[in-house]
Structure 1
Amino acid sequence: MAFPKRKNLQEIPPQGREKLIIVGSRNPVKIQCVEDAFQAAFEDQIIVQGMNVDSQVNRQPFGDVETYTGAYNRAAASKRAFPEADCWVGIEGGVDEVGDQMVAFAWVVILNGSTIIGKAKTGTFFLPDAIKVLVKKGIELGDADDMVFSKENTKQRGGAVGLLTKGIVNRSLYYKQAVLLALIPFLNKDLYQ
């Protein structure tokens, strides 16, 4: 079975030049998932760099609107701070309530030099009550994970999804699929003008 040829990220700048992708975070998990997704989707040489930017939302976003807004703000702030890059990516993790339970997820927003905006949401998964109680008290999900599992800085490693799946799905793999889905408009520019 022959796979279709991968696309070029942009027509301009010319092929042959490395494409610079800026991620609106210095979290190594977010940087790695963006690098993995862009390398899988495009034939261009890709360089991915992280940058600290403000999401302009709560430290622990709640609901789709706030979480999406945080991802968009990260991408837009990265674009303003480093306009010479080829693409800017924002990833924001959030939580929401479903009845009396809590789910976790993330939004991904990708901007490039055109008016096209790539956006996608990860799958959701339910959090255990021990974590939900801490998050409802105002503790960020990553910190709540560390407290419940007696770990340190899990948000820069496997995250809640890694802890709860016992490493089967780590945070980078979890985010990578959403980054690939957010790239759909850039892979099909004729349909997303």
Structure 2
Amino acid sequence: MAFPKRRNYQEQERQKLVIVGSKNPVKVKSTEQAFQSLFDDYFLVEGLNVDSNVKDQPHGEVETYTGAYNRASEAKKAFPEADFWVGIEGGVDEVGEQMVAFAWMVVLDATGRIGKAKTATFFLPEVLSNLIREGVELGEADDRVFQRTNSKQGNGAVGILTNGAVNRLEYYQQALILALIPFAQKSFY
């Protein structure tokens, strides 16, 4: 049986700082778990409220990606001494007469390297889609329809609609790990 390599005190690198462009606890925790699952380094992950510079409920791939990129970029401007900056933005899009939900992840580092990935998409029930089309943000629509409070800082629509089988934290974490590929495989990116 092989044992994991232990690091000596002298081998330990300094703790790396990751700033998430949101204080949403799900976004911060999923970022922390993604970094810890992919790298051996020590990470301190902190959330910072920054503006996405897009609508509160982004529509379409471009606006949602732009929101995620802006969050990472604004976090970098606000806290330039960090090692990584992460933007996560949830969005919706029309597919025919139905609406889907998803999120984009963007990770920046000090060298100019960028990682990006998108979660899986899922179709929303018409009752949620109609509220969103009326200008209500998905999290607020979830709260109204499912009689919840602040569901966007919890398991969100994906957790509610799957009865918890898809945990929002893990849903984001998987896409964040994919966004970290350019940092894990630097020789290819």
Instruction: Give yes or no for the alignment of 1:190 onto 2:184.
Output: no
Does 1:132 pair with 2:147?
no
Structure 1 unaligned runs (5+)?
6-13
The C-alpha deviation readout for 1:5-42, integer Å capped at 9, x for no partner, is: 9xxxxxxxx95200110000000000000000000011
Report what 2:37 is aligned to. 40
- The equivalent of 1:113 in structure 2 is 110
Per-residue deviation, 1:115: 1.9
CA–CA separation in structure 2 for the residues paired with 1:129 and 1:114: 44
Q: Equivalents in 2 of 1:169, 1:109: separation in Å? A: 22
Superposed displacement of residue 171, structure 1: 1.1
Counterpart amino acid of 1:132?
S
Equivalents in 2 of 1:31, 1:116: separation in Å?
21
User: Which residue of structure 2 lines up, in the alignment, with residue 70 of structure 1?
Assistant: 67
Whether 2:127 is the aligned partner of 1:104: answer no
Alignment of 1:19 with 2:16, yes or no, is yes
Shift of 1:141: 0.3
Q: Kindly report structure 1 stretches of 4+ aligned residues shifted beyond 2 Å.
A: none
In structure 2, the residue corresponding to 1:105 is in which secondary structure?
strand
TM-score normalised to structure 1 length: 0.92
One-letter code aligned to 2:19: I
Q: Paired residue for 2:83, among 61, 82, 86?
A: 86
Q: Normalized against structure 2, the TM-score is what?
A: 0.94
CA distance in 1, matches of 2:51, 2:168: 21
User: Structure 2: which 5+ residue stretches go unaligned?
Assistant: 6-10
Identity of aligned residues (%): 64
